[in-house]
Chain A
Amino acid sequence: MSGEGVGTARSAIEAVWRIESARLIGGLVRIVHDLALAEDLAQEALLAAMEHWPSTGIPENPSAWLMTTARNRAVDQARRRQMQAGKHQELALRSSEPSSGVPDLAAAIDEDLGDDLLRLILIACHPVLSTEARAALTLRLLGGLTTAEIARAFLASEPTIAQRIARAKRTLAEARVPFEVPRGGELSARLSSVLEVLYLVFNEGYSATKGNRWTRPELCEEALRLGRILAERFPREAEVHGLLALMELQASRLRARVGPSGEPVLLLDQDRSRWDQLLVHRGLAALARAEALCQPLGPYTLQAAIAGAHSRARTAAETDWPRIVALYDALSQLTGSPVVELNRAVAVSFAFGAAAGLELVDALADEPALASYHLLPSVRGDLLLRLGRRGEARVELERAASLAQNAWEKALLLGRARASLGATSPGRTGESGGDAAAAPSSTPGLASEPPRR
């Protein structure tokens, strides 16, 4: 086989791995009740594939091949353990069926009860783990990402991520986390932990908190893929559809969110013709499902409804701000989050004028949770600018820039701080709702971007 052929085989094997690894590990976990061991067995099967497939070609049914290989190793190991145990227990070894447990094991691995994947998601997102650990483990076990890829995604070093994953597995083992899929109320509680992780991964891609890139779409895609899988498994869970709707709608704007040189373009400045209509439709459909399933709406569904209100407006000026304010009211009551309150202030400023918005923002000034949150001074600066109070606006925007961690965001804020003094008179003081939405310079930092809780 030519060198190119080997390379092709390798990438084909990687593709098979991506498709099969989660189900494979999930199936193995069900049997061996040990996450680390299950992953090792799956990895061994992958290595075997890397060894054999380039010369034999990819088998007709690669998933069965991988499963059989991993299963054989599991059986071998079980047998070896039995033998070792047997050395101490002569009797057991000499009994009529020395390996009675082994055939059962083989049969058990073959029957996928349909929730192997689900089992794996629930374990990876177990509440005993920190959210960072859950996110890393989820990307590794369900996304089939390598440690290096996860490290790149979170802008962390490879050893850090490797350690985080190893520690997470140890924590799960020490906590003796059961591998059964919980039912009823406990399942719902565990699901919300999964949703939290998916949204964290999505957000890390959507609005990179650190580094030089404003978005990392590959992370969004992975979160979306897992969200779609979850929505298939739980057609009756409103918030699963709510989160999926939120992610689809936000992802529909990814293309429009990045300018020609990689700089961020905020919601109200975006060229809406560049929104991905396929994702908009999928998002609105998921939102409709979520809204039909549950009243009152849960936090993800409310955020999706806000995103949907923006998606439905053909131009920024057509945005239904009063509706968005009402949705933020509900969300604020539900979460009590100051970040949501800040977003609500922005919506209020567009619906009822900058002064009304500023009043709400000023009420948040002493909120400890927002003390180093760059969007607080960013929003305040924009509102001051819209009210013609340029000197104060500049101070706030500069403060916002000093707090921002993403390089692009920093630059954007500094640009606006400079512009605040040089700009021609905004002429929008006391404007009524909607006017300012069309004006790029006054777009608040987070104009109804989803709150990050």
Chain B
Amino acid sequence: MRVMVFVPGDENSEAGKMPSQELIAKMMKFNEELVKAGVMLAGDGLTPTSKARRVRFSGSHRAVIDGPFAESKEIVAGYWIWQVQSIDEAVEWLKRAPFDGGIEVTIRPVFEPQDFGRELTPELRQKEARLRVEVERRSKP
């Protein structure tokens, strides 16, 4: 399974302050371990929301809002995408990350095809129906 790991931002990341050399070194080492273990598929740090934009949708109107965005707790400052066997494995990996200071990092499993089970999207169901008709049509003698 695949999980996405969200690292929240704080005042420092929002102010564009880089973490200490020591922390960067530790984080690089952690990343290296993830790569060496074949776990890491992708991961990046994100710039402060002062560089971000939002688009708000209402009806046919699209409003563009410039950053920064105040609610820094909800801001994502970085992410990883990991390939793991279970969310427990992801937790065990995350525990080894060099975070501190009460920061809460969230792991969210990505939907897998089997999660949809028989309840497929309407588009897929339609497709399946089309296929059935087609198969029937073709199998007529």
| Chain A residues with a Cβ under 8 A of chain B | 11-12, 14-16, 18-19, 62, 218, 221, 224-229, 232-233, 255, 258-261, 278, 282, 415, 418-419, 421-423, 441
Chain A contacts of B140 at CB under 8 A? 422
Interface residue stretch chosen among B51-59, B84-92, B97-105 = B84-92
B6 an interface residue at 8 Å Cβ cutoff?
A: no
CA distance in complex: A316, B3 (Å): 31
B window 115-141: CB within 8 A of A? 120, 124-125, 127-128, 131, 135, 138-141
Verify B38–A12 contact, CB threshold 8 A.
Answer: no
Verify B35–A15 contact, CB threshold 8 A.
Answer: no
User: A14, A226, A258, A278: which contacts B42 (Cβ < 8 A)?
Assistant: A278
Q: A258-B113, A418-B139, A419-B135 are in contact. List 10 more A-B contacts (CB 8 A).
A: A12-B88, A225-B39, A226-B38, A229-B36, A260-B120, A278-B41, A278-B81, A415-B135, A415-B138, A419-B138
Chain B residue nearest to A226 in the complex (CB): B38
B93 an interface residue at 8 Å Cβ cutoff?
A: yes
Chain B contacts of A15 at CB under 8 A? 85-86, 88-89, 91-92
CA distance in complex: A15, B92 (Å): 7
B83 an interface residue at 8 Å Cβ cutoff?
A: yes
Verify A422–B42 contact, CB threshold 8 A.
Answer: no
Chain B contacts of A14 at CB under 8 A? 86, 88
6 contacts between A and B (CB under 8 A): A15-B91, A221-B83, A255-B113, A415-B138, A422-B139, A422-B141
Chain A contacts of B135 at CB under 8 A? 415, 419
In the assembled complex, how far is the CB of residue B19 from the closest CB belonging to chain A, in whole angstroms?
22
Chain B residue nearest to A117 in the complex (CB): B36
User: B86, B88, B131, B139: which contacts A419 (Cβ < 8 A)?
Assistant: B139
Verify A422–B92 contact, CB threshold 8 A.
Answer: no
CA distance in complex: A258, B91 (Å): 30
Chain A residue nearest to B120 in the complex (CB): A260
Verify A19–B141 contact, CB threshold 8 A.
Answer: no
Verify A227–B139 contact, CB threshold 8 A.
Answer: no
CA distance in complex: A228, B35 (Å): 8
In the assembled complex, how far is the CB of residue B17 from the closest CB belonging to chain A, in whole angstroms?
29
A422/B128 contact (C-beta < 8 A), A228-B38, A260-B120, A278-B81 known: no
Chain A contacts of B124 at CB under 8 A? 260
A229/B37 contact (C-beta < 8 A), A11-B86, A14-B88, A15-B88 known: yes
User: A19, A218, A258, A278: which contacts B92 (Cβ < 8 A)?
Assistant: A19
Chain B residue nearest to A279 in the complex (CB): B41
User: A224, A233, A255: which contacts B83 (Cβ < 8 A)?
Assistant: A224
Verify A282–B39 contact, CB threshold 8 A.
Answer: no
B window 33-78: CB within 8 A of A? 35-39, 41-42
Verify A19–B86 contact, CB threshold 8 A.
Answer: no
Chain B contacts of A260 at CB under 8 A? 120, 124-125, 127-128, 131
Chain A contacts of B42 at CB under 8 A? 278
A441/B138 contact (C-beta < 8 A), A19-B37, A224-B83 known: yes
Most buried by A among B81, B88, B93, B128: B88
Chain A contacts of B85 at CB under 8 A? 15, 18, 218, 221
Chain A contacts of B41 at CB under 8 A? 278, 282
In the assembled complex, how far is the CB of residue B140 from the closest CB belonging to chain A, in whole angstroms?
5
In the assembled complex, how far is the CB of residue A65 from the closest CB belonging to chain B, in whole angstroms?
13
